Each structure stands twice: as C-alpha cells, then as structure tokens.
C-alpha cells in the first residue's frame, strides 16, 4: 500500500509540473501581450482564461492529493476544505465553458458566407471578452450554494454523513441527496458538452468540405499534413476527444463515489488524478497546434538551453581558472 501511494505521489508531482509549465506559459505569454499592447486575434482572448482555469484545477487537485500520498491525511480545516472544493468546482466549470466557447467561435469564424453562423462573424469577436467574464461570474455565484451543504464539525450529529476526500472531510446532513445534487449541478456542464460536440462535428464537416474543394489546387507531391485545415481539425478533435474522455470517466467515478459510502482507499486519489489530466495536457494542444504560440515556445526553450549552456561553461571555466592558479 505504501508503494502504491508513493507511485501516486510521483504521478501527481509529474502532473503538477506539466500543468504548471504549460498553463503558466500561456497565461504569462498573453498577459505580457496585453500589457505591451500586442494585437491579439479574437480567439486568443479565450486562451488566458482557459489557462487560468486549468492552472487552478491542477493546483487544487494535485497539491492536496500529493500531500495525502506522502502520509499527511485530513490536514485541512473546514475553511480550507471549503476553499479547495469551491476553487476546483469553479475552475472545472469555467474550463469546460472556455473550451465550449473556443469550439463555438471557431465554427463562426470558418462558416461559409451563406450559412446561418456567418451573420455572427462581425459581432462574435466583440462578445468574447464579456462572455469569458460572464462565465466566471455565473459559476462563482451558482457554486456558492455548494458551500452551504458543507458543515463544520460542530454540526456533527448521528444523522450527519461524512465524505472523506483524503485531505479533509465534508459533513452533510443525512437528508442530503448527493446523487440529485450532482445531477442538478451537472446540467450546465451537460449543455456545454452537448454544444461542444455538435459544434466540433459541424466544424470537422466544414473543414472536410473545404479540403475537398481546394485539394485540386495543391500539388500532388504535397503531404496532406501541410494543409492548414488539416492541422486545425486535428487540434479541435484532440481537444474535444481528450475532454470528453476524461470528463466522462471522472463524472462516472464521481457519481459512484457519492452514491457508495464505502470504496477502496486508492479510489479517491485515482479519481483526482484523472480529474486533473485534461487541464495539465490541454495547453500543449494549443501550443503545438498554433504556429504563433509554438514560435514563442521554441524561442523560450532555445533561450533556456542557451542560458543553461552559458552557465555550465562559465562554471567550468571558473573551476579551470582556479585549478590553474
């Protein structure tokens, strides 16, 4: 059992490192662009909001569970427990909303001029920033009621249910229907998921039609990977499939956790590990499928390698000089 917790702790540490690296890069890059007056594409205003939500998800899930795997259990007081749960639930919902908004805006952007979506091309860029802040405000308010179901230890009675999260315990009245609560709070998420699936399918259909129309103007020796619409399709499909896969598995296991009072001790860490993999991996999909962002990523990585080589050479030269003296 100790070995399994050690392996889980290492996996959480890797996940936190990957998530911080990717999301902090996107968040820092676009924050720098905003402060320097760099002209951004309309769709790029979504990226920092998505990166911020993903970063909060990785930190709120990864750090507490990594501490639990190191042997420190139930180390948070009721206030800290409420804050961590509230932070994760908001970040999870906003991350889904930003992914949904990203998929919908791409549909509007590449829609043909004779489609219904084409009428929104002029107004859509103006609505991106207000929509992002509206999502934050909406989920901040709607999830505030979640705090009311989490009681302090002074309300503990014989009719109180205890939900063990590893790093803390949630106390709820016996009359609290966890399954119904999860279903009601999943309605906005389900609506976003449905819209994202439909818009992504429509987007793939448009790109496929466009690919067939312009295929004859490309040279026969060119690889299909050089088509820009091919790259965009891969990015969208990868984002959607990744989110749907992790979301479906995590939602099913979460429903099982709230429905069943007793489950194996490793169940909660595995559940939290799955919950944070999409926010840890999704920034790299945006980085490596966006040529402009990828250019800055390579520039930063090359500069880091040059700085590391310069430091090593300077240190070696100083040691050699000391030995000569």
Tell me, what's the pLDDT at 33?
Answer: 83
Q: What is the mean pLDDT of residues 159-183?
A: 68
Q: Is 50 exceeded by the pLDDT of residue 1?
A: yes
Which CATH number applies to 2-314: 1.20.1070.10, 3.30.950.10, 3.40.50.2020, 3.40.630.30? 1.20.1070.10
CA-closest candidate to residue 171, choices 195, 192, 154, 193:
154
pLDDT for position 57: 92
Which of the residue ranges 98-107, 112-121, 178-187, 280-289 would you say has the lowest mean pLDDT? 178-187
- Evaluate if residue 301 carries a pLDDT over 80: no
Q: Given pLDDT bands bounded at 50, 70 and 90, which one contains residue 325?
A: very low
3-state secondary structure of 250: helix
- Evaluate if residue 20 carries a pLDDT over 90: yes
For the entire predicted model, the pTM comes to: 0.82
Confidence class of residue 308 from pLDDT cuts 50, 70 and 90? very low
**Hey, what's the torsion of the CAs at 101, 86, 20, 102, to 10 degrees?**
0
């Amino acid at each position: 059992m100790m070995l399994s917790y050690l392996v889980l702790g290492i996996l959480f540490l890797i996940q936190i490192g990957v998530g911080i690296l990717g999301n902090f890069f996107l968040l820092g890059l676009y924050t720098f662009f905003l402060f320097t007056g760099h002209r951004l594409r309309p769709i790029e205003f979504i990226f920092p909001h998505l990166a911020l939500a993903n970063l909060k998800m990785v930190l709120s899930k990864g750090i507490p569970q990594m501490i639990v795997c190191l042997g420190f259990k139930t180390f948070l007081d009721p206030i800290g427990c409420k804050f961590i749960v509230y932070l994760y639930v908001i970040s999870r919902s906003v991350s889904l909303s930003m992914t949904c908004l990203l998929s919908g805006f791409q549909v509007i952007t590449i829609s043909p001029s004779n489609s219904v979506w084409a009428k929104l091309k002029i107004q859509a860029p103006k609505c991106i920033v207000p929509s992002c802040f509206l999502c934050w405000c909406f989920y901040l308010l709607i999830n505030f009621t979640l705090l009311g179901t989490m009681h302090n230890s002074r309300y503990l009675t014989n009719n109180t249910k205890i939900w063990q999260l590893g790093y803390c315990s949630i106390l709820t009245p016996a009359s609290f229907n966890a399954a119904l609560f999860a279903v009601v709070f999943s309605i906005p998420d389900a609506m976003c998921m449905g819209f994202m699936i439909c818009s992504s399918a429509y987007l793939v259909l448009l790109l496929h039609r466009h690919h067939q129309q312009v295929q004859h103007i490309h040279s026969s020796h060119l690889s299909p990977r050089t088509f820009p619409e091919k790259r965009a399709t891969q990015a969208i499909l990868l984002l959607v499939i990744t989110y749907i896969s992790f979301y479906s598995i995590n939602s099913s296991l979460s429903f099982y956790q709230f429905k069943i009072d007793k489950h194996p001790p490793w169940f909660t860490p595995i559940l939290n590990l799955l919950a944070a993999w999409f926010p840890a991996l999704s920034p790299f999909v945006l980085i490596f499928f966006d040529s402009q962002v990828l250019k800055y990523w390579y520039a930063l990585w090359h500069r880091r390698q040059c700085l590391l080589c310069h430091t090593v050479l300077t240190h070696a030269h100083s040691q050699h000089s000391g030995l000569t003296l």
